[in-house]
Structure 1
């Protein structure tokens, strides 16, 4: 079975990493062959997939003005690849991939939606595309896969065809989510932490939806009361060159307590260097980064966005979004625990991921969709 995946970009973000994990889970399975098409550039994930022998294409679209050329090139690619199924990831790819599929006389199309903030999130182009996709959802895709139950509810509320929607939670490659004690010690030493330091970490690109300002404010409140706590920020643009972030940190009065590591390839090692993980987002679908932290046995404090509360369940703390006081209080609840209590909470989190959210479980759910569509006439 040949699948053509169409996605906006192939950077190291949540949807892209989920696509990568899905494809790599089939590397040794001769039943499935995956081809990937990025509407923009190849990106880090595209390079990694290509290195493993996956056929990766990029259309080089830089703005909406490039839509006609990208559409024509995608139609041509579909006719060349002749996939059994076209699977698209997020609005721009849903629209362009769905339209190209129909022009190429292809009917087995699977859309993918992830966001939950459908009332206020996104640019004007994204909002317009969402409205168009809501109308097209009754005609173009055979199935619409939602990464979170919260995403499904949100899109039904803005007009998507509920009968075509189903939820496939992200799956995690738990075998890769591990690190050695030596890796933990090396990063902590690099950051100037000793074993008595309680490290609160956050991981993800610098973007308004991630609400890093909320995290920094809460961290400042926590720092005032807990002299042994330090804060580690990992992700794209979370580095010393980010003046806006630096200003927020300076305003806390505890700038020396923050360590900015920027984008890293050794994510499991960075997570292992933390003692507590925080998600401060103002919107999410299914927060991959929380699942990764849980798989690394970290107790998590999350804002109540998307499926974050469902994911952590009784293994972490859930607080109101965009409320720094609440986030600081949630962090304090876990920081104030005895070390063995934090470890026990983290082990509960790890057990939950291994029981419910492995890549194997997600792969099986996608395979059920693929086989059903191929068998249907």
Structure 2
């Protein structure tokens, strides 16, 4: 008998939670679970991706009319009568969990995707998180954290530790490929020569991603070697971003930076890099580091979330919010030379393929579904 899992997610931006859900549903096709999605807000590039793959998607607009949209969410859950409601991120945890209970569906799984419980998030998000902590003992059957660091951080602010478990991200390696021709073509388009060393970052422009850290580190590195160039890929990493352009201008080496904005060919962008950098102030389990590893690109990352567990000894870990430290980490990889970086990238690829497959993540989620449906554990 096919079971139905209804996912409620806060939005449709191209981000870690959205991509994890996308991969989970694709990996689940033909198995014992059918999946559909309700998004609480309509904006974002994932909407087209879900629809292109034939994934059932209902889009609400809580920003426009929160009360009527909550009533509609409740009505939809009553009509669909899923076996499990799985929610992704704080607002969906709160609203989706409450709507499910009011609809008589008590098989609820919450999803925590961040470790930053002290940072500068929106006040509304802080309020929602506190409400979730207070309700964590009765709304969800299980709370799935993407990283051990996320579990620990949320336990400290009052979430029910007894209901929490960790399921790391899995990766669809069939989609993480790029040919040498694609790599060369993109590098040519960016103006890079065969001898240039490209240090890149990938992720939407956001304070948590700390792109100022990356830019300042790049400015320090640019003085060391004329071959160094810096590739920045992600939403709003483009020439319309005045703050970003100002930071780049202040380095004194604006000609070394290439801004590509949001792209759909992430594997090709990663393949164009010799070194990948994550400069974030906070993460839980950053997909992009795993994707870079899968592409054989050695990584330098700030010590955030579960990055240390993910990379182990296949990359360089540095303190967050320190351009000097980030530049020093990149310098370590530069000293390895091309052959040393290739070997480190090879080890990273082996590690991610052995430990973080999408099949493993799917099986773990399906074990949780079985426990929730059977009422085991609580």
Structure 2 distance, partners of 1:121, 1:304, is 18
Q: Is the 8 A contact 1:6 1:87 kept in 2?
A: yes
Q: Is the 8 A contact 2:62 2:70 kept in 1?
A: no
Q: Is the 8 A contact 2:78 2:104 kept in 1?
A: no
Structure 1 distance, partners of 2:119, 2:25, is 32
Task: Please name the residue that 2:21 is paired with.
Answer: 19
Task: Please name the residue that 1:176 is paired with.
Answer: 175
What is the correspondence of 1:188-337 to structure 2 with a 5 Å cutoff? 188-337=187-336
Task: Please name the residue that 2:48 is paired with.
Answer: 47
Structure 2 distance, partners of 1:199, 1:280, is 16
Q: How many residues align?
A: 374
1:11 deviation in Å? 1.6
Task: Please name the residue that 1:6 is paired with.
Answer: 8
Higher mean C-alpha deviation, range 120-129 or range 80-89: 120-129
TM-score, with structure 1 as normaliser:
0.98
Structure 1 distance, partners of 2:204, 2:258, is 15
Structure 2 distance, partners of 1:48, 1:277, is 25
What SS does the aligned partner of 2:339 have? helix
Deviations 1:175-196 (A, max 9, x none): 1101000000000111111111
> Please, what is the CA RMSD of the aligned residues?
1.0
1:376 deviation in Å? 2.6
Gaps of 5+ in 1: none
1:69 deviation in Å? 1.6
What is the correspondence of 1:27-66 to structure 2 with a 5 Å cutoff? 27-29=29-31, 31-41=32-42, 43-62=44-63, 66=65
What SS does the aligned partner of 1:225 have? coil
1:67 deviation in Å? 2.4
Superposition misfits of 4+ residues, deviation over 6 angstroms: none
What SS does the aligned partner of 1:178 have? coil
1:27 deviation in Å? 2.1
What SS does the aligned partner of 1:145 have? strand
Q: Is the 8 A contact 1:42 1:57 kept in 2?
A: no
